[in-house]
Structure 1
């Protein structure tokens, strides 16, 4: 296991039976808690981890041992988990991939953006990715990497934190308040201390987007990575996309890298918007 993987997704936290503020705090009777718990089991795996046991699932989901045992048994029967009897742990099964393919295949923006992203990644020697919101993080749906740089290894499906990355701050700075505020509330509840520390950075990100056209991350998330991100001007198929560029952080090189990357990334985003008919 590698819980400290830089591309680890947040521990699953679903709004099980969330209170309805307009209904005296009553539970949502339409919310299928068992289904949500099963999904959380599948989401407990992190990049670099091939095996998890019931104890891991209990720790990461907060579910009881008996509930986890029933869910893992059911998921094995359905094929979403494979039981390694020798180690008494579970692996993800191939059926987990099936629901993602129709989603990715339907995203025309990926095909349009791919050659632009690859050209920029080769030009600046970094990685260029396309992300959308996933719960309280950003998930990559397309990525291109420079072969000259092996340190930056995001890939499709990598989930990044919202508050400490350029791509997350760009999403928060662009989307309407009715989308932003529920996410901020969830982030505040998940980690109040981190949220408090992030507030000034979020304010700066909004100002940067308004005045400079991009958001940045000066090694706030990973000590060895600088990030720059530009959100698209409008949603595509109801999703707000963000183009992100990650570069290896070098001492005293942030300003120079910003000057190199920022105009190219803004141009990429504008070109993509034009090709998609958003402008």
Structure 2
């Protein structure tokens, strides 16, 4: 199996490279950012600036980007918002999960999020922050790495061996020389999940954040795996509290969402 996804794409006669490059430009925008220049987009996508200029022009014409008249920079357009709303609306599990997640966050004074795997990341579909003065500041649409987060490790833990094998080249490319160590931690996390029914990440993704994660049973055959996490600041939640109190409660929350 090739370890270079770009090379694999070039060999695929059905793969539309121009479309892929346009989507790479859209994916380069991150939550909370302002407008970006063609130069920044070129750096993030590893595409020539001339190619990016043509793509941003086309995407602007179609409404997927909007251009600031003063700076010439680009931001995501309303067409992307419409697509995002359609995607989120297609997952009925959010309607069931949201009120239960709000109750959980208030009861345990901790943030709780619902996410789905997208390549080597987890994308948040829903999040409820606790009412505490300090809480984890992630929102719908935020992306976090699969390998170092509790929610990502929970999703990884229930992948089939074939799915893990298919994902390995992407993770290896992302982490480079660190991949053997990352792979070992993922293996250990999977074994922990098989034994205890939840995953954990204590200060690994963000130094001051403690988190546990669980995967939800798929309510519909073929639906992508959806996972939950509960995360809070280290000054308020230590490892013992997360393991003895929050993890069992999160596992119960998962059973409430998908009986």
| Superposition TM-score, scaled by structure 1 size | 0.86
Q: CA deviation at 1:50?
A: 1.1
Structure-1 separation of matches of 2:101 and 2:160 = 26
Q: 2:86 aligns with which of 97, 102, 105?
A: 102
**Residues 149, 216 of structure 1: alpha-carbon distance in 2 compared, 3 angstrom cutoff:** farther
**Residues 113, 135 of structure 1: alpha-carbon distance in 2 compared, 3 angstrom cutoff:** same
| Structure with greater proportional helix content | 2
Structure-2 separation of matches of 1:62 and 1:256 = 44
Matched, 1:157 2:147: no
Matched, 1:220 2:204: yes
Q: 2:224 aligns with which of 227, 239, 256?
A: 239
Q: What is the aligned partner in structure 2 of residue 229 from structure 1?
A: 213
Q: 1:182 aligns with which of 166, 174, 194?
A: 166
SS at structure 2 position matched to 1:238:
coil
Q: Deviations over 1:21-79 (max 9, x none)?
A: xxxxx710110111111111111111221111011011110101111111011111112
Within-5 A mapping of 1:100-139: 100-139=84-123
Structure-2 separation of matches of 1:266 and 1:97 = 32
Unaligned runs of 5+ in 1: 1-13, 20-25, 275-279
Q: What is the aligned partner in structure 2 of residue 277 from structure 1?
A: none
CA contact (8 A) 1:217 1:228 kept: yes
Runs of 4+ in 1 over 6 A off after TM superposition: none
Q: CA deviation at 1:126?
A: 1.5
Structure-1 separation of matches of 2:24 and 2:130 = 34
SS at structure 2 position matched to 1:195:
helix
**Residues 269, 68 of structure 1: alpha-carbon distance in 2 compared, 3 angstrom cutoff:** same
- How many residues end up aligned between the 2 structures? 255
